[in-house]
């Protein structure tokens, strides 16, 4: 299903969505958490990215697994397959960390929306904001590790 798009490996195309949307979620989620006066302007973007980023990471992961199967079937050297396995492990972590960030951003959105009925402890917003910031840093780090390991697997020795 996610093997090829117009003759190119789908992973090569889909990975770019994750590379854009996951860091954007980290940036917008952090801005939403630490800049309360801009929340009215950022809420829609944060909500949209909280859905798009994990979906993009999932599609990149699934298409990468299919690409790995193709490379194994074509008898690529074990050294390259090991590099791909390392890349895949980072990609798996990126997916799960992006899901965690998305969930916390969505919870923060729900709890801080204007006109929300009910009482929320005053400390909960800052605590969730701090969690968003930490998860944002972790997400950007794993996007970097995933991208770097993938680029090394593809380009090492080529240039």
Confirm whether 73 is domain-assigned.
yes
Confirm whether 5 is domain-assigned.
no
86 contacts 37 by C-beta, under 8 angstroms: no
pLDDT averaged per 10 residues, the chain (length 159): 81 94 98 94 97 98 94 92 95 98 97 75 92 98 97 75
Confirm whether 95 is domain-assigned.
yes
Confirm whether 76 is domain-assigned.
yes
3 contacts 10 by C-beta, under 8 angstroms: yes
Residue 158's pLDDT is what? 53
Residue 1's pLDDT is what? 66
Distant-in-sequence contacts of 40-44, Cβ < 8 A, 24+ apart: 40/114, 43/109, 43/113
Domain housing 96: 10-114+121-155
Confirm whether 93 is domain-assigned.
yes
Structural domains counted in the chain: 1
Confirm whether 110 is domain-assigned.
yes
Confirm whether 3 is domain-assigned.
no
Residue 111's pLDDT is what? 92
Residue 159's pLDDT is what? 45
Confirm whether 23 is domain-assigned.
yes
User: How far is 1 from 82, CA to CA, in rounded Å?
Assistant: 24
């Amino acid at each position: 299903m996610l093997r090829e798009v117009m003759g190119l490996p789908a992973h090569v195309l889909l990975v770019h969505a994750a590379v854009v949307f996951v860091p954007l979620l980290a940036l917008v989620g952090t801005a939403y958490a630490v800049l309360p006066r801009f929340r009215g302007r950022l809420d829609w973007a944060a909500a949209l990215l909280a859905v798009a980023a994990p979906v993009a990471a999932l599609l990149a992961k699934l298409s990468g697994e299919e690409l790995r199967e193709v490379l194994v079937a074509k008898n690529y050297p074990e050294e390259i397959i090991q590099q791909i396995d390392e890349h895949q492990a980072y990609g798996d972590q990126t997916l799960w960390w992006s899901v965690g960030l998305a969930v916390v951003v969505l919870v923060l959105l729900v709890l801080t929306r204007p006109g929300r009925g009910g009482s929320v402890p005053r400390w909960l917003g800052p605590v969730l904001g701090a969690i968003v910031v930490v998860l944002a840093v972790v997400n950007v780090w794993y996007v970097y590790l995933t991208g770097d390991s993938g680029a090394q697997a593809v380009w090492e020795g080529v240039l």
